[in-house]
Amino acid sequence: MENQSTMPYFLLLEFSKDRHLQLLHFYLFFILYLATATANLLIISVVAFHHHLHRPMYFFLMNLAVQDLGIVSVIVPKSMINSLMDTRHISYSGCIAQVFLFCSFEASDLSLLTVMAYDRYIAICNPLHYEMVMNWKACTKIVILVGVTSLFYGILHTIGTFYIPFCSNVVNQFFCEIPELLKLSCSGLNLVEVGVVLASVTAVLGSSIWIIGSYAMIFKAVLKIPSEKGRQKAFSTCFPHFIVFSMFLVSGCLAYLRPLSNTPTYLDVAFTALCSLLPPLFNPIIYSIRNKNIISVLSKLWRF
């Protein structure tokens, strides 16, 4: 196929030709998706409907849960349907939508983690200025800015990926992953997407330095707190943020910095699945386990 005008669809990776294994893949992805959706919807509901959790930290956590739910909703249902229906097809427009939405949600995740680190820095290192800096007006503006910039980021990646023609429509992954799509290019090196990737790497490095620097100052300030109870309370609110960020960074490195092979392997598929699907599942669990307020509300709901 010479260009996108003659390419009505892509063929995603087929896990197996055996019908039983296809159904096994469907059930495994269904269970994973159900668990991820349930965990994130619980966080969203708990924060949205309980007024004592209407604080900036939980407001950003709720938005993070929305993004995590979006990530799995973009890539998992289509893969499940393909296995159930014994097909590999995804339309050209559907592939564009996957790339755009997946990149946008991932960018929102990183941006919110950066904002949450700043929120904890202000709360612990400058508590007297917290109400003035992180008021509801400022938080709303931050979330809107995160949404707009993430959509812009998704548009740039989508244009960079689909700007040039493809010589094949066989995507060696269970969703339209950008590295696999770029391997289908007819013209070799895609300079547009290279520019977008370099800008992305710069943004990720900047956010990482900001987050690590913020937590370094937070931990330094926490160690100066005289009471052990005060130190434990401060650590209990910051530790989950740092763990989630570390998971995001490690999974991103494993997914996109590993060498890509021309032929798909089960290891490549496993890495992509783990890096794309596990963080959205574990993020709400990590926050819930370490947060007494969320545990209290969930316990009341469970007893009810």
CA angle (63, 67, 72) in 5-degree steps: 150
For the stretch 103-157, pLDDT in tens is 999 999 999 999 998 998 898 888 888 889 899 999 999 999 999 999 999 999 9
Half-sphere exposure of 143 (CA within 13 A, CB side): 17
* For residue 5, pLDDT beyond 50: no
The token duo for 184 is 């289908």
For the stretch 229-272, pLDDT in tens is 777 766 777 777 778 888 777 777 766 666 655 655 667 777 78
202 SS3 class = helix
The token duo for 145 is 């800015």
Section 87-101 average pLDDT: 94
Do the beta carbons of residue 90 and residue 173 sit within 8 Å? no
265 SS3 class = coil
The neighbour count for residue 302, using CB atoms within 10 Å, is 7
Percent over 70 (pLDDT), the chain:
89
Residue-range definition of the domain harbouring residue 253: 4-303
Q: What is the DSSP string of 92-135?
A: HHHHHHHHHHHHHHHHHHHHHHHHHHHHHHHHHH-GGGHHHHS-
For the stretch 53-63, pLDDT in tens is 888 989 999 99
CATH number of the domain where residue 105 is located = 1.20.1070.10
pTM recorded for the entire structure: 0.89
Partner residues linked to 90 by β-bridges: 10
The token duo for 218 is 């937070």
Domain count, the chain: 1
